[in-house]
């Protein structure tokens, strides 16, 4: 569900909202060690208490009121342990991270801490003593890391958005492998206070979501200057660019590591940009890729050692072999090596800034390939390096970036691209992304799954006797509204169970309350087959003027039926009927 859909439920039916969140939490706790998505999660009792407290608050004062979210377990949340993927390292923070505090101040509820590559070191999602987070598109494949659990929590349907971190691509690779949006904002506009550092000078707090609109909302509520963070920056966003030119890598720059499906998907996406009117030009990305090599081949590996190296040396048998090998490799850097690398980086940055004067944005694959868990286990360093080919340079060159889900390959695996630009172009990138990304909704096996909005007015509404038929096919409640004043409403008491009949009558009609549900198109036939005459399906008009599929009733069936148009809702009629029965 999206933020908007959850808020709709919160506003229109608080008890259903509450039960939805509690059932969700029970499932998380039940599958904690099966899915390996969460390292820790709120108990149901604690969540009940947090939900009940929302009753006394208003959306005007708390714009994210009651919205559940998940947080990567290297970001502090008060009331949870912070483990960074290592139990022996864990501690209880005295307060939440600055970014989490901003969201909680807006009314959001953190329901759990998510799994990660240990000490946020890796792009694979398999370097955790807490197991490998489930990739719902294909369990044989890696979920992407290091923010693996934060992505999987959304794919599983547990939360509408989550927080991760991104130093070398950890906010983008999991998004690419799980068909999500992943925003790596400009360094410093989202404070990293309360984040266990990987490379403190490069770290960013990332945002994952199913919808671009949700990414925007979360960014809006997490960007604030933090005087306690030495790397915090004011969010001075650039004005919207009028440039329509998009730069892509030259063919010689591209690397798909043998993945023909990803190569084909990328080619198709570039062609779609041209059809949408963008001027797409090939550019030599070599300076960016050379800069990427500095992240692990230069002195920044020493920054990882600075963060947790001493702990690892004192607890070598408690840290995963690959993680230990990478971080301890930064123990003895030379100062002159730092300056040598810094000068090289400044040269690459100058070239990039010159490029940026001409282009609205840059586009390339988020990852050149995806690997199975088995493949990563056999060659953990090389394949992880392959995954960072397109991602490692962006924080070094001070870019803003967003990973977009754009295709599902023929072998049913997600493919995405990254849209990036210089710092403070986050808003521009989000605007561009809206025209570029046509995200398909997918089920957990990777099969394309379209949705149809369906309006219901009787027993299929939330809490109704037939509501289970919608839930059984994976339908999701969206909102409650009224029809245009063009319908008459009848009680079909002869049906079992009794249900209403909606008949169009433009001259004598009125507004009738309906709920709109999002129904999987491929399962709509199953649902329709459960509905008998005289009910049928057609288009009705909502009070907004929008047309939506709905139940209708054939005219012959209402000749002797009781008209209940004046009541406007089926629930009022049921309540009235029950009262009469009690009296009789």
List the catalytic residues.
72, 146, 170
Q: Which of 317, 384, 378 is nearest to 86 (CA)?
A: 317
Chain-centre distance for alpha carbon 323: 27
Q: Which of 472, 464, 524 is nearest to 498 (CA)?
A: 464
Tokens found for residue 113: 């801490």
Residue 297, burial from CB neighbour count under 10 angstroms (0-12, 13-18, 19+): exposed
Separation CA 356–CA 363 (nearest Å)? 12
Peptide bond into 146 cis (omega under 30): yes
Residue 373, burial from CB neighbour count under 10 angstroms (0-12, 13-18, 19+): middle
Question: Which strands form 487-492's sheet, in the order they lie side by side?
Answer: 499-504, 487-492, 562-563
Q: Do the beta carbons of residue 116 and residue 105 sit within 8 Å?
A: no
Compute how many other C-beta atoms are within 10 angstroms of the C-beta atom of residue 560.
8
Tokens found for residue 423: 């710092």
Find residue 331's DSSP bridge partners: none
Q: Do the beta carbons of residue 169 and residue 391 sit within 8 Å?
A: yes
Residues in the chain: 584
Chain-centre distance for alpha carbon 365: 19
Question: Which strands form 535-541's sheet, in the order they lie side by side?
Answer: 476-482, 513-520, 451-456, 547-553, 535-541
Q: Do the beta carbons of residue 103 and residue 221 sit within 8 Å?
A: yes
Separation CA 457–CA 570 (nearest Å)? 7
Residue 208 gets which letter from DSSP? E
Separation CA 416–CA 172 (nearest Å)? 9
H/E element, 73 = none
Separation CA 72–CA 521 (nearest Å)? 34
């Amino acid at each position: 569900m999206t933020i908007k859909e959850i808020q709709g439920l919160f506003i229109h039916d608080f008890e259903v909202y509450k039960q939805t969140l509690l059932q969700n939490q029970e499932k998380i706790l039940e599958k904690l060690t099966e899915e390996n998505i969460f390292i820790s999660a709120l108990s149901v009792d604690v969540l009940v208490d947090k939900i009940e407290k929302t009753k006394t608050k208003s959306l005007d004062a708390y714009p994210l009121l009651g919205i559940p979210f998940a947080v990567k377990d290297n970001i502090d949340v008060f009331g949870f342990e912070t483990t960074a993927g290592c139990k022996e390292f864990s501690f209880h923070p005295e307060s939440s991270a600055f970014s989490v505090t901003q969201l909680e101040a807006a009314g959001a509820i953190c329901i759990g801490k998510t799994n990660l590559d240990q000490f946020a070191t890796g792009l694979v999602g398999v370097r955790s003593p807490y197991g490998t987070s489930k990739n719902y598109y294909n369990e044989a494949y890696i979920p992407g890391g290091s923010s693996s659990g934060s992505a999987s929590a959304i794919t599983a349907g547990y939360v509408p958005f989550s927080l991760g971190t991104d130093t070398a691509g950890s906010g983008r690779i999991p998004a690419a492998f799980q068909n999500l949006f992943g925003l790596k904002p400009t360094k410093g506009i989202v404070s990293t206070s309360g984040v266990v550092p990987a490379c403190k000078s490069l770290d960013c707090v990332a945002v994952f979501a199913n919808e671009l609109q949700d990414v925007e909302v979360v960014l809006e509520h997490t960007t604030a200057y933090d005087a306690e963070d030495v790397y915090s920056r004011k969010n001075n966003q650039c004005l919207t660019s009028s440039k329509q030119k998009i730069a892509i890598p030259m063919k010689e720059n591209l690397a798909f590591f043998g993945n023909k499906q990803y190569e084909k998907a990328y080619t198709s996406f570039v062609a779609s940009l041209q059809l949408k009117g963008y001027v797409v030009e090939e550019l030599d990305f070599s300076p960016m890729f050379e800069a990427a090599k500095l992240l692990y081949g230069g002195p920044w590996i020493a920054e990882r050692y600075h963060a947790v190296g001493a702990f690892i040396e004192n607890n070598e048998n408690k840290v995963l072999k690959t993680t230990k090998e990478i971080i301890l490799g930064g123990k003895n850097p030379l100062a002159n090596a730092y300056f040598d690398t810094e000068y090289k980086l400044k040269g690459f940055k100058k070239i990039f800034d010159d490029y940026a004067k001409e282009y609205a944005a840059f586009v390339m694959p988020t990852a050149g390939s995806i690997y199975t868990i088995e493949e990563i286990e056999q060659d953990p360093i090389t394949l992880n390096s392959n995954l960072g080919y397109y991602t490692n340079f962006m924080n070094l060159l001070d870019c803003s970036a967003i990973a977009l889900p754009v295709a599902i390959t023929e072998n049913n695996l997600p493919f995405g691209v990254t849209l990036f630009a210089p710092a403070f172009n986050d808003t521009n990138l989000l605007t561009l992304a809206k025209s570029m990304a046509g995200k398909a909704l997918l089920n957990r096996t990777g099969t394309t799954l379209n949705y149809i909005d369906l309006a219901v007015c009787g027993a299929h509404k939330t809490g109704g006797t037939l509501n289970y038929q919608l839930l059984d096919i994976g339908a999701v409640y969206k909102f409650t509204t009224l029809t245009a004043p063009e319908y008459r409403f009848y009680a079909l008491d002869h049906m079992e169970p009794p249900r209403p009949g909606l008949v169009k009558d433009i001259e004598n009609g009125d507004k009738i309350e309906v709920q709109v549900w999002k129904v999987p198109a491929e399962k709509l036939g199953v649902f329709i087959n459960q509905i008998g005459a005289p009910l049928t399906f057609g288009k009705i008009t909502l009070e907004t003027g929008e047309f939506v599929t709905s139940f209708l009733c054939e005219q012959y069936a209402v000749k002797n039926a009781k008209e209940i148009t004046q009541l406007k809702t089926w629930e009022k009629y049921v309540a009235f009927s029950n009262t009469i029965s009690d009296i009789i």
